[in-house]
Amino acid sequence: MSVESSQKFEGRNLELSSGQALSEFEIAYTTYGTLNQNKSNALLVCHALSGDADAGIWWESQVGPGKSIDTTRYFVICSNTIGSCYGSTGPASINPQTGTPYNLSFPVITITDMVNAQKKLIDSLGISSLASVIGGSMGGMQALEWSVLYPENIRTCIAIATSAELAPQALAFNAVGREAIISDPNFQQGHYTEETVPRHGLSIARMIGHITYRSDESMSEKFGRRLLKKEDYGYDFSTDFEIESYLKYQGDKFVNRFDANCYLYLAKAMSYFDLTKKYGSLEEAFKNTQANFLILSISSDWLYPARESKRIVKALMKQNKPVTYCEIEASHGHDSFLMENDQLSKLIQSFLETTHAQ
C-alpha 210/C-alpha 110 separation (Å) is 23
Q: Does 356 participate in catalysis according to the annotation?
A: no
Q: Is 358 in the site for other proteins (CB under 8 A)?
A: yes
DSSP reduced 3-state for 256: coil
For other proteins, the closer of residues 261 and 341 by Cβ is 341
The footprint of other proteins on this chain (CB under 8 A) covers a number of residues equal to 24
Q: Does 137 participate in catalysis according to the annotation?
A: yes
Catalytic residue from among 84, 88, 93, 137 = 137
Q: Is 210 in the site for other proteins (CB under 8 A)?
A: no
Q: Does 54 participate in catalysis according to the annotation?
A: no
Q: Is 329 in the site for other proteins (CB under 8 A)?
A: yes
Q: How many other C-beta atoms can be found within 10 angstroms of the C-beta atom of residue 171? A: 15
> Shortest CA distance to 327 belongs to which of 168, 160, 170?
160
For other proteins, the closer of residues 267 and 316 by Cβ is 316
Q: Is 287 in the site for other proteins (CB under 8 A)?
A: no
- DSSP code, position 165: B
For other proteins, the closer of residues 258 and 304 by Cβ is 304
Q: How many other C-beta atoms can be found within 10 angstroms of the C-beta atom of residue 67? A: 17
DSSP reduced 3-state for 19: coil
Instruction: Lay out the site mask for other proteins across 289-328 (x = CB under 8 A, - = otherwise).
Output: ---x-x---------------x--xx--xx-x-xxxxxx-
Least distance from C-beta 343 to other proteins, angstroms? 6
Q: Is 350 in the site for other proteins (CB under 8 A)?
A: yes
DSSP E strands in the chain: the ranges are: 4-15, 21-32, 42-46, 63-64, 69-70, 75-79, 132-136, 156-160, 292-298, 323-328
C-alpha 226/C-alpha 242 separation (Å) is 6
Residues that bind other proteins (CB under 8 A): 292, 294, 310, 313-314, 317-318, 320, 322-327, 329, 343, 346-347, 350-351, 353-355, 358
Q: Which residues are catalytic?
A: 137, 301, 334
